[in-house]
A and B are shown apart, each in its own frame.
Chain A
Amino acid sequence: DAGVIQSPRHEVTEMGQEVTLRCKPISGHDYLFWYRQTMMRGLELLIYFNNNVPIDDSGMPEDRFSAKMPNASFSTLKIQPSEPRDSAVYFCASSFTVDHGYTFGSGTRLTVV
């Protein structure tokens, strides 16, 4: 398996623009997670899905953030409009069970200028 695939690897955008991050989980993994990592706040859970259904979106910062999982092999995280404080590395991870651990994608480094 190719692992969890995220795109793009790097994104630089201007404040106010829409940003879409993409994730392909490992086939057969029922759980998909979006995390954001910054030096100040560490790894923060944004949202997670089970069988394509959003379960916990309490970590989504505000209405500017939205996430979808239209099928078992694809998820998106959208920020509209983007702000400089959204600059971070965004990780997607998938999992079969917690004791098998999460498999993280390589992340998307987002810079909003």
Chain B
Amino acid sequence: GQSLEQPSEVTAVEGAIVQINCTYQTSGFYGLSWYQQHDGGAPTFLSYNALDGLEETGRFSSFLSRSDSYGYLLLQELQMKDSASYFCAVKKNSGYALNFGKGTSLLVTP
């Protein structure tokens, strides 16, 4: 079967850097995605890594190591508005749909 593991909660200080890890087990790997969801809101797409390495988009970066079945989301210069849940996701074993992890709740404190 498939599994995704990520920490349930992370706390960090405004202005700091935080890393949210994700390890996965799946057959037929097609890439790792990250989504952000604020309380009461909808998930929004952040990034997609199909190949090893670091992808940077503004303050957010995402990393993938396919050999280690591991990835992370890096958030720099944290702002209060970054307090949200962050989900990693991989495609289901077959087909096109994404299977989401349970999410990491990030709390940014002053």
- B-side interface size class: 20 to 34
| Residue of A56, A98, A106 touching B31 (CB-CB under 8 A) | A98
**Which partner residue on chain A sits nearest B99 by CB separation?**
A45
Inter-chain contact A55/B95, CB cutoff 8 Å? yes
Which residue from chain B places its CB closest to the CB of A106 in the assembled complex? B42
Is the Cβ of A45 less than 8 Å from the Cβ of B48?
no
Task: Digitize B74-110: 1 where CB-to-A-CB distance is under 8 Å, 0 elsewhere.
Answer: 0000000000000100011001111111110000000
A50 proximity list for chain B (CB < 8 A): 96
Pairwise interchain contact B96-A101, C-beta atoms closer than 8 A: no
B residues near A106, Cβ cutoff 8 Å: 41-42
B45 and A103: CB pair below 8 A?
A: yes
B44 contacts chain A at the CB level, 8 A cutoff: yes
B contact face: mostly helix, strand, loop, or mixed:
loop
- Are B96's CB and A102's CB within 8 A? no
A105 contacts across to B, CB distance below 8 A:
42
* Complex interface: chain A residues within 8 A of B103 (CB): 42-43
Q: Residue A99 contacts which of B35, B50, B97 (CB distance < 8 angstroms)?
A: B50
Contacts of B97 in A (CB 8 A): 33, 45, 48, 55-56
Q: Which of B51-76 contact A (CB under 8 A)?
A: none
- Cβ-defined partner of A101 (8 Å) among B41, B42, B48: B48
Contacts of B87 in A (CB 8 A): 43
Task: Please report the C-alpha to C-alpha distance between residue A42 and residue B98 in the assembled complex, in whole angstroms.
Answer: 13
- Chain A contacts of B7 at CB under 8 A? none
Nearest B-chain residue to A43, judged by Cβ: B100
Per the 8 Å Cβ criterion, residues 35-68 of A in contact with B are 42-43, 45, 48, 50, 55-56
> What residue of chain A has the Cβ atom nearest to residue B43's Cβ?
A104
CA of A102 to CA of B35, assembled, Å: 9
Indicate if the CB atoms of A98 and B44 lie closer than 8 Å: no
Q: Are A55 and B96 in contact (CB under 8 A)?
A: yes
Binding site for B on A (CB under 8 A): 31, 33, 42-43, 45, 48, 50, 55-56, 91, 93, 98-107
List the 6 shortest-distance A-B pairs measured between CB atoms, nearest first. Answer: A101-B45, A104-B42, A43-B100, A99-B48, A42-B102, A48-B97
